[in-house]
Structure 1
Amino acid sequence: MFSLLPLVLLFPLCPASPLSPEAANAGAASINPATNGKPSSEGTTSFDGQSLAAIAPAPAAAAVMASSASISQTGWTVTVDSAQAGNPGTNAIDGSTTTFWHTEYNPVLAGLPHQIIVDMKSNYLVGSITYLPRQDGSFNGNIGEHVISLSTDGATFTTVALGTYIDDTTLKTTTFTPTTARYVKLQALSEAGNRGPWTSCAELNIYTAAGPAPPALSAGKGAWGPTIDFPLVPVSAAIEYSSGNLLVWSSYNPSTFGGSNLVQTITATYNIGARIVTSALITNTGHDMFCEGLSMNFNGQVVASGGNTDAATSYYDSPSNAWNKGATMKIPRGYQAQATTSTGNVFVIGASWSGGQGGKNGELYNPTANTWTLLGGCPVAPMLTADAQGVYRADNHGWLFGWKNAYVFQAGPSKAMNWYGTSGGGSQAAAGTRAADTDSMCGNAAMYDAVNGKILTVGGSPDYQQSDGTANAHIITLGTPPAVPTVVTIGNMAYQRAFANSVILPDGTVFITGGQITANPFSDQRSQLTPELFNPATNTFTQMAPQAIPRNYHSVGILLPDGSVGSGGGGLCGNCATNHYDMEIYRPAYFFTTTGALATRPTISSVSVASIKVGGTFTVTTGGAVTSFSIIRMSSTTHTVNTDQRRIALTPSGTTGTTYTLTIPADPGVALPGAWYIFALTGGVPSVSKTLKITLT
């Protein structure tokens, strides 16, 4: 099993509870948390025999946009819930890193939660804050789980960010949707190392927003917020099937990759309902899952193959919330494409980033037998790009789609497309080119209409790095393999993008977010902050509300159960300025009325079955009349690739009151078995989803 870590690098799976009066008083008698002296139980923060410095080199705070500015602390006042004599709240805004605010521990040990409210005396368009933990060598009081909220009047506060900070002494930056505010409240719900119920802060700074205020909701652009802070850079993300929670991970380390300790992965889980971020260190599988192949199997399990540990396989079982060790791949890989097939196997191909270069032909994982088999008939050569760095980059991040009769369609990033058959020893057949498109490394492909085999492709760059992204867009329509699909070139996006992410929404539109004009790993230069929405009814793109944080190399985008989108990550470059330890939540325009009020959303009262086989019929009862339904397969995503997501519109075959009869398509290549969201829609406004498991038999 995996080992759990103390709060934020590392912390428990629940927020820390305040101490009992007896324990609190005992602690107060023996421990002075505001001094450099540490109790014997504290020592040097460590886990699994490693020092904090060894496991987590100090990460730099995420970059505040260049045009943001620190607001002068002159004239500010603060209000705190508790302060130790000699460590008042004003120390957090005195401009000195040698002093700090500390909550009371003597003669009374004040329990969590704690808070500090800053009054800036005037309204500003606020875009970020920085929190600096105490700098005297002690970790006591480092803030872990937290909530950040803003107010113009000091009475009504709006939450703009929440999450958990990593347990070290580096500067923490939280960036959020630009909001007009005079008051900033930072609430500490836990102490990062679970050492005690205290809170400390050396400096709290507030910054003006980098850009203008977001457009009015009535403009139909949707809205961003809150920001979710993680104790790691979320490079990979997946939905936990049984809970609906969001699982993210980085590498063996929360802020960097590489090194020699490639036998573990640092993960975090965001409990969407409770709005709590927790973390676990995964050691039982002996697998650093950074740069892995990724997809979800028929049981809703996340399957991660290769990466930093180049031949390992791990799978995450959502009901038991545990990572398990899988079989070793035949060919070591990193940056491979991976897709679940219509027979329930998992196909991988490519990946010269790790495990040697070239010859990364296809192989197949059988989750039931826990075995890998080489497919001699599935050569990687036909899908190589003409990358300037050669095969090291040319076989990376394929756009794969499990389709009918155990075939996998490769839509890109090479301009050449291919069918790979996964039956027997495998097969390969050329499937034409993506019209006049270039090679499009780190672009996107999304199956927004699985019934009709329609795939949207957007962006990407001819070479992996130092290469301008395109704004190109195409619609691919699949038929029966290995027939060559049709490709239609549609109007370009407004912006060139490489390293962007695409997310299919319940109403059938596709949300494209992040990326940069020139593909440049570990850089936020030339970032595209304005997302676009693809409308399949018109094959056009519309610009949406801008996001506050760049999302480029090592970023993720994923659909959440309520129909919102998580856009997070970017970086993982150690002591750099482009590590983004967070995720912004985007609420599409369907969350709101034309006047900006929250829309009335339909509700699903019940679903007649928890699981159903392909071709099966079931009923859904809603809280009122609805106009349509859709199902979207739950997702796993990394490095701009999401081979899981696909959408199917379901038309009721019968209605009794508010109970609707629906039928799943009979072809498992279309309705790929696994975990799906089901949404009811009224006039394009979706419900919060329910979960449906589609099975092969």
Structure 2
Amino acid sequence: MARDFSNNSTTSAAVPVTVVATTPAVVGQWAAPVTWPIVAVHAHLLPTGEILASDGQTAGATARLWNPSTGVFTTVNNPNTNLFCAGHCHLGDGRVLVAGGHIAGHTGVKDTNLFNATTHQWSLAASMHTARWYPTATTLPDGRILVTAGEIGCAECDAPIPEVYNPQTNIWTELTAANLPLPYYPHMFVLPDGRVLASSTSEHPIITQVLDVNAQTWTVVDPDPVDGGSAAMYLPGKVLKAGTSYHPDDPVVPSVATTYVIDMTQPSPRWRQTPSMAFARTYHTLTILPDGEVLVTGGGNTTDAVGVNGAALPAEIWSPATETWTVMASMSKPRLYHSTALLMPDARVLVLGGGRFNGVNEPTDQLSSQFYSPPYLFGGPRPTITSAPATTTYGGTIDIQTPDASRIAGVSFIRLGSVTHAIDMDQRLVPLAFTVGSGSLSVQAPANANLAPPGYYMLFILDTSGIPSVAAIMKIS
């Protein structure tokens, strides 16, 4: 029997659905906060299951490795660079690449730092051509890294020329013909045709365009700038964005709750407004869940980066089937500017950070993390994966051993996260087709690297109730 969940249909509803309840099976549940030694302005899920996080402002070289299983923190400070407001993503071999960083004021650095998850060591790679602060890093289908935007010495002075890093040769190449100034932290997504979508930024709305990296050309997709402080590609080519994108140095204004989707697999894609969130938010983060829904956490009802009194404590979950939001349980800490969130292999979401706006040791600094368990973790027994390969290849077959094969209804392939400033630069979900055997699943790996750029992913199996397993982490190349 074969099932393919890659062609989900969506319908538009008139109003968002709001649920008032307290049972975990309906609204999920937050664990008690865990004290951290740093504010996790930047956070990365490593192939080992550990979290690499670095701090902000003058503490930007301060980094910690956290083992969620043991609760142990290991100091892994960067010896080279203040990583505050750098861009980052995962390389195909599992290392974390961090591009840029901070010197002072609006001045960034040319440094490229690599973190090895096995040795727990930092190393310097070749320097970029341009010093960047607030850039975005994107893993391309061929394993190279695209870096766009970043301030270059003054407010709103945005680096116009993208660069591409080749980890095999340790060489950066400027895409001089693709000259286009983009504001801080543009939201960049590799599309199923291999081009890269620039959908918005965490700081300002922009015209939506796509970049052909090899041809070094930009093409306008939607000429109307559309707001959206956080974004996520919840299915290949389909992007959700919600809330307010706003520069924290600008005058304080009310946040918005607007939500938009775009389907880049259609012939003439345009942003389409869908029902709004229940809470207006700025400085929030969207996190893709194994069942294909999207969680929003954090943010506040104004663009005040330290406005904790207006913090949105309830989480919300967006359904791609109904395009509506449902209110979930409330966290106990306000998470505003510089907050982060990561999907974990156990299908919980780790929410961290917040603060470090004007310096260190501010009253609004959040030196903690908190786990959120979505409702699917309270719906009954979880399916289990008893055996899975450590690696797979494009178009290949992934053999999964599970005693729950007969009740599996979906398989999700989700890239390990690398998140800062309301955007996870790596997360993407690819639904995988599969056939059911006796105590096993034969799963079709992504057909090509446009769908899943090389690197490490979490493979979840989900039962007919949408309950996910603990993920198997595997490398695709």
- Give the TM-score, by structure 1 length: 0.61
1:614 and 2:414 are equivalent in the alignment: no
Task: Return the alpha-carbon distance in structure 1 between the equivalents of residues 25 and 400 of structure 2.
Answer: 33
1:579 and 2:378 are equivalent in the alignment: no
Q: Identity over aligned residues, as a percent?
A: 28
- 1:246 aligned to 45, 51, 64, which one? 51
1:552 and 2:324 are equivalent in the alignment: no
Please identify runs of 4+ aligned residues in structure 1 that moved more than 4 A: 353-356
Alpha-carbon contact 2:25-2:377 (below 8 Å) kept? no
CA deviation digits over 1:515-551, x for unaligned, max 9?
Answer: 0111122342311111110011111100000111011
1:278 and 2:74 are equivalent in the alignment: yes
Task: Return the alpha-carbon distance in structure 1 between the equivalents of residues 268 and 283 of structure 2.
Answer: 28
CA deviation digits over 1:620-646, x for unaligned, max 9?
Answer: 111323222111111101111112101
Task: Return the alpha-carbon distance in structure 1 between the equivalents of residues 268 and 115 of structure 2.
Answer: 36
Pairwise mapping of residues 496-511 of structure 1 onto structure 2 (< 5 A)? 496-511=280-295
* Counterpart for residue 58 of structure 2: 257
**Cα 1:422–1:329, aligned 2, differ >3 Å: closer, same or farther?**
same
Task: Return the alpha-carbon distance in structure 2 between the equivalents of residues 577 and 447 of structure 1.
Answer: 34
**Cα 1:431–1:399, aligned 2, differ >3 Å: closer, same or farther?**
same
- 1:535 aligned to 311, 319, 323, which one? 319
Task: Return the alpha-carbon distance in structure 2 between the equivalents of residues 404 and 328 of structure 1.
Answer: 30
Task: Return the alpha-carbon distance in structure 2 between the equivalents of residues 248 and 268 of structure 1.
Answer: 6
Task: Return the alpha-carbon distance in structure 1 between the equivalents of residues 337 and 162 of structure 2.
Answer: 26
Alpha-carbon contact 2:51-2:65 (below 8 Å) kept? yes
CA deviation digits over 1:248-305, x for unaligned, max 9?
Answer: 1114xxxx428xxxxx71111221222222323221xx11111001111222221101
Counterpart amino acid of 1:400?
M
- 1:397 aligned to 152, 176, 185, which one? 185
Q: Describe the SS at the equivalent of 2:449.
A: coil
Alpha-carbon contact 1:307-1:354 (below 8 Å) kept? no
Pairwise mapping of residues 408-419 of structure 1 onto structure 2 (< 5 A)? 408-413=196-201, 414-419=205-210
Q: What runs of 5+ residues in structure 2 fail to find an aligned partner?
A: 1-19, 104-108
Task: Return the alpha-carbon distance in structure 2 between the equivalents of residues 274 and 358 of structure 1.
Answer: 42
- How far 1:592 moved relative to its partner? 0.9
- How far 1:648 moved relative to its partner? 1.4
Task: Return the alpha-carbon distance in structure 2 between the equivalents of residues 645 and 227 of structure 1.
Answer: 24
CA deviation digits over 1:405-442, x for unaligned, max 9?
Answer: 54211011324101112115x221111146xx6444xx
Task: Return the alpha-carbon distance in structure 1 between the equivalents of residues 233 and 309 of structure 2.
Answer: 30
Alpha-carbon contact 1:514-1:528 (below 8 Å) kept? yes
* Counterpart for residue 140 of structure 2: 341
CA deviation digits over 1:157-207, x for unaligned, max 9?
Answer: xxxxxxxxxxxxxxxxxxxxxxxxxxxxxxxxxxxxxxxxxxxxxxxxxxx
1:361 and 2:152 are equivalent in the alignment: no
Alpha-carbon contact 2:41-2:340 (below 8 Å) kept? yes
1:378 and 2:168 are equivalent in the alignment: no
* Counterpart for residue 422 of structure 1: 213
Alpha-carbon contact 1:235-1:639 (below 8 Å) kept? yes
Counterpart amino acid of 2:219?
A
Pairwise mapping of residues 76-91 of structure 1 onto structure 2 (< 5 A)? none
Task: Return the alpha-carbon distance in structure 2 between the equivalents of residues 341 and 485 of structure 1.
Answer: 22
CA deviation digits over 1:459-517, x for unaligned, max 9?
Answer: 1235544233221111111138xx75343211111111110001100011100000011
**Cα 1:366–1:439, aligned 2, differ >3 Å: closer, same or farther?**
same
Task: Return the alpha-carbon distance in structure 1 between the equivalents of residues 223 and 371 of structure 2.
Answer: 36
- How far 1:581 moved relative to its partner? 0.5
Task: Return the alpha-carbon distance in structure 2 between the equivalents of residues 319 and 501 of structure 1.
Answer: 28
**Cα 1:684–1:404, aligned 2, differ >3 Å: closer, same or farther?**
closer
* Counterpart for residue 563 of structure 1: 347
Task: Return the alpha-carbon distance in structure 1 between the equivalents of residues 365 and 247 of structure 2.
Answer: 23
1:605 and 2:382 are equivalent in the alignment: no
Alpha-carbon contact 1:306-1:334 (below 8 Å) kept? yes
Counterpart amino acid of 1:612?
T
- Give the TM-score, by structure 2 length: 0.88
Task: Return the alpha-carbon distance in structure 2 between the equivalents of residues 354 and 603 of structure 1.
Answer: 51
Q: Describe the SS at the equivalent of 1:467.
A: coil
Alpha-carbon contact 1:569-1:582 (below 8 Å) kept? yes
Counterpart amino acid of 1:305?
A
Task: Return the alpha-carbon distance in structure 2 between the equivalents of residues 345 and 485 of structure 1.
Answer: 27
Q: Describe the SS at the equivalent of 2:58.
A: coil
**Cα 1:267–1:246, aligned 2, differ >3 Å: closer, same or farther?**
same
- How far 1:655 moved relative to its partner? 2.1
Counterpart amino acid of 1:257?
T
Counterpart amino acid of 1:671?
A
* Counterpart for residue 685 of structure 1: 467
1:269 and 2:40 are equivalent in the alignment: no
Counterpart amino acid of 1:416?
I
Q: Describe the SS at the equivalent of 1:605.
A: coil
Counterpart amino acid of 2:232?
A
The structure with more radius of gyration? 1
* Counterpart for residue 164 of structure 1: none
Counterpart amino acid of 2:211?
Y
1:485 and 2:269 are equivalent in the alignment: yes
- How far 1:673 moved relative to its partner? 1.7
1:644 and 2:455 are equivalent in the alignment: no
Q: Describe the SS at the equivalent of 1:500.
A: strand
Task: Return the alpha-carbon distance in structure 2 between the equivalents of residues 462 and 249 of structure 1.
Answer: 23
- How far 1:239 moved relative to its partner? 0.8
* Counterpart for residue 663 of structure 1: 444
1:634 and 2:424 are equivalent in the alignment: no
Alpha-carbon contact 1:235-1:569 (below 8 Å) kept? yes
* Counterpart for residue 95 of structure 1: none
CA deviation digits over 1:76-115, x for unaligned, max 9?
Answer: xxxxxxxxxxxxxxxxxxxxxxxxxxxxxxxxxxxxxxxx
Q: Describe the SS at the equivalent of 2:376.
A: helix
Task: Return the alpha-carbon distance in structure 1 between the equivalents of residues 414 and 289 of structure 2.
Answer: 8
Alpha-carbon contact 2:462-2:469 (below 8 Å) kept? yes
Task: Return the alpha-carbon distance in structure 2 between the equivalents of residues 660 and 355 of structure 1.
Answer: 55
Task: Return the alpha-carbon distance in structure 1 between the equivalents of residues 255 and 231 of structure 2.
Answer: 15
- 1:237 aligned to 37, 40, 43, which one? 43
Counterpart amino acid of 2:336?
N
**Cα 1:368–1:231, aligned 2, differ >3 Å: closer, same or farther?**
same
Task: Return the alpha-carbon distance in structure 2 between the equivalents of residues 278 and 663 of structure 1.
Answer: 38
Alpha-carbon contact 2:446-2:452 (below 8 Å) kept? yes
Task: Return the alpha-carbon distance in structure 2 between the equivalents of residues 228 and 634 of structure 1.
Answer: 22
Alpha-carbon contact 1:511-1:531 (below 8 Å) kept? yes
Task: Return the alpha-carbon distance in structure 2 between the equivalents of residues 522 and 655 of structure 1.
Answer: 51
Counterpart amino acid of 1:349?
T
Q: Describe the SS at the equivalent of 2:38.
A: coil
CA deviation digits over 1:323-360, x for unaligned, max 9?
Answer: 21111111111111221111111111111175782443
Task: Return the alpha-carbon distance in structure 2 between the equivalents of residues 627 and 359 of structure 1.
Answer: 46
